[in-house]
Copies of this chain bind each other. A is one copy, B any other.
Amino acid sequence: MIDKAERLLAVKSVKPTSVRILVLAHLLKDAKAQSLKDLEVSLYNTDRSSIFRTLKTFEEYKVVHSIDDGSGMMKYAVCAEGCNCDPKDLHYHFYCTNCSLTYCLLDNPIPIVTLPENFKMHQANMVIKGLCDKCP
């Protein structure tokens, strides 16, 4: 995962510092959307603000995208290959209200929504809430 992280950082032109490699490797390893706190707990000897700023950098360089799933904590997930975080790359997210896991539903494109006259869409945050397949 370390190698994979380093390669991905190179592709995205982000300088591969130690914190960045660790954070990205962890996001790649547990292939689920993770919060700042999740990462803080997992990388317990790395400072929270460093992880925070790393995530901001990752967002800026389209390494990860953030998901506001309504849980109160922003979640971060590695962007799929080819993703540029454009409207066309938008996808649904599913938040399990039981286990708190957040999933990227990459298979369903989000539909074109007919907006009122002269409204322009730039981004979207589409979250479906319910129970995942591992929860009762």
Across the interface, do B119 and A97 meet the contact criterion of CB distance under 8 Å? no
The yes or no answer to A123 lying at the interface (CB within 8 A) is yes
Contacting residues of chain A (52-70) with chain B, CB-CB under 8 angstroms = 68, 70
Across-interface contacts of A70 in B (CB, < 8 A):
68, 125
Instruction: Kindly provide the distance from the CB of A108 to the nearest chain B CB, expressed in whole angstroms.
Output: 6
Across the interface, do A92 and B113 meet the contact criterion of CB distance under 8 Å? yes
Across-interface contacts of A115 in B (CB, < 8 A):
94, 105, 128, 130
A107 to B117, CA, bound (A): 13
Across the interface, do A122 and B111 meet the contact criterion of CB distance under 8 Å? no
Across the interface, do B124 and A127 meet the contact criterion of CB distance under 8 Å? yes
Instruction: Kindly provide the distance from the CB of A124 to the nearest chain B CB, expressed in whole angstroms.
Output: 5
The yes or no answer to A114 lying at the interface (CB within 8 A) is yes
Instruction: Kindly provide the distance from the CB of A135 to the nearest chain B CB, expressed in whole angstroms.
Output: 9
Across-interface contacts of A28 in B (CB, < 8 A):
none
> Can you pick out 29 interface pairs between chain A and chain B where the beta carbons lie within 8 Å of each other?
A68-B68, A68-B70, A70-B125, A92-B113, A94-B115, A94-B116, A94-B119, A97-B122, A105-B113, A107-B114, A108-B114, A116-B133, A117-B133, A118-B133, A119-B130, A119-B131, A119-B132, A119-B133, A120-B131, A121-B128, A122-B129, A122-B130, A123-B128, A123-B130, A124-B127, A124-B128, A125-B125, A125-B126, A125-B127
